[in-house]
Amino acid sequence: MSKQVVIVGGGVIGLLTAFNLAAEVDQVVVCDQGEVGRESSWAGGGIVSPLYPWRYSAAVTALAHWSQDFYPQLAAQLFASTGVDPEVHTTGLYWLDLDDQAEALAWAAREQRPLSAVDISAAYDAVPVLGAGFRQALFMAGVANVRNPRLVKSLKAALLALPNVTLREHCQISGFVREGGRVTGVQTQAGVLAADQVVLSAGAWSGDLLRTLGLGLPVEPVKGQMILFKCAKDFLPSMVLAKGRYAIPRRDGHILVGSTLEHEGYDKTPTGDALQSLKASAIDLLPALADASVVGHWAGLRPGSPEGIPYIGEVPGYSGLWLNCGHYRNGLVLAPASCQLLSDLLLARPPIIDPTPYAPQGRLG
């Protein structure tokens, strides 16, 4: 059994990895350059599904299905132990006027997912605030959203209650410590933090850190901006998605609308252009939002990766260094399965799914 595991990065992936490992190892230390859970895990929308699941590879689908099935019990466990409800809210999701509706239905039949075409009049009956002019709709009833700021708050509370877990916030990692072919710790401002195993789950910053070892990890920051409205609790009964933009209802009437895709490096500044674009999309989708005030506008950095397939597993030639990163737009969706798979591999247990598609082997420069 590993005595000490150091996790670099305290977003949902890092926190849930720590949560899974805590019962199996002596000590877990989570290091984050800021506050835990305040980057993309806080900034995202929290739909517990890829936006267009049929457009992804089987590797992403496998993680997504496992996670979707597991989320309700994870939320219940966290709520019971911390009193902080992550609010997994099952509303279903309508996709409107898709160009690839036939492909979506074929995927649903193949994967046995409850996605079906519905008459557009049924969509308007179910979502009366929907904008005019939509012609066709697909619906999946079981899709939920998780209130991601509450999820990270709940995970943080659960970890703080565990005597063998330490959260080190505002702890900048500058590199890795090696002895021979093994990684034995990380370099912090305060000196070396020793570890039997190191897990890199630093989101958009993961590629920069791995570069200190001369390894090329194709994970880069991709900016996304969101806006938030406050409406009546029953304003929007279901999530809706059209023309690449989505609206997500929270239980208390907050409506999130997103998101942009911008390659701007590490710049997280919200912009006026994005605000106007998102407001226009929101009003096109739900015209009544023209009379609602925007109560929030922010940006986050997704960990962009090729095809959105995360890196999960030990780094070849660097024993003791593990990756759990590169989830792109689906970190919240894929987190439960990704973190369970990483834990299975690190602890040499039978993995929940075939780990081959996520292995770093052959995927690093």
Structure confidence by residue, pLDDT tens digits, 128-184: 999 999 999 999 999 999 999 999 999 999 999 999 999 999 999 999 999 999 999
Mean pLDDT of 323-341: 97
pLDDT at 1 over 70: no
Angstrom distance (rounded) from CA 322 to CA 316:
9
User: What local confidence, expressed as pLDDT, does residue 12 receive?
Assistant: 98
Mean pLDDT of 218-222: 97
* In CATH, 4-45+150-218+307-358 is 3.90.660.10: no
The 10s digit of each residue's pLDDT in 247-300 is: 999 999 999 999 999 999 999 999 999 999 999 999 999 999 999 999 999 999
Domain ranges for the chain, please list them.
4-45+150-218+307-358, 93-141+220-304
Fold of 93-141+220-304: D-Amino Acid Oxidase; Chain A, domain 2 (3.30.9)
DSSP assignments along 170-215, one per residue = S--EEEEEEETTEEEEEEETTEEEE-SEEEE--GGGHHHHHHTTT-
User: What local confidence, expressed as pLDDT, does residue 234 receive?
Assistant: 93
Angstrom distance (rounded) from CA 279 to CA 361:
43
pLDDT at 2 over 80: no
Percent of the chain with pLDDT over 70: 99
The 10s digit of each residue's pLDDT in 199-219 is: 999 999 999 999 999 999 999
pLDDT band at 365 (very low <50, low <70, confident <90, very high): confident
Percent of the chain with pLDDT over 90: 99
Q: Give the chain's mean pLDDT.
A: 97
Assess contact for 57 and 307: CB atoms under 8 A: yes
Angstrom distance (rounded) from CA 223 to CA 235:
29
Angstrom distance (rounded) from CA 42 to CA 301:
10
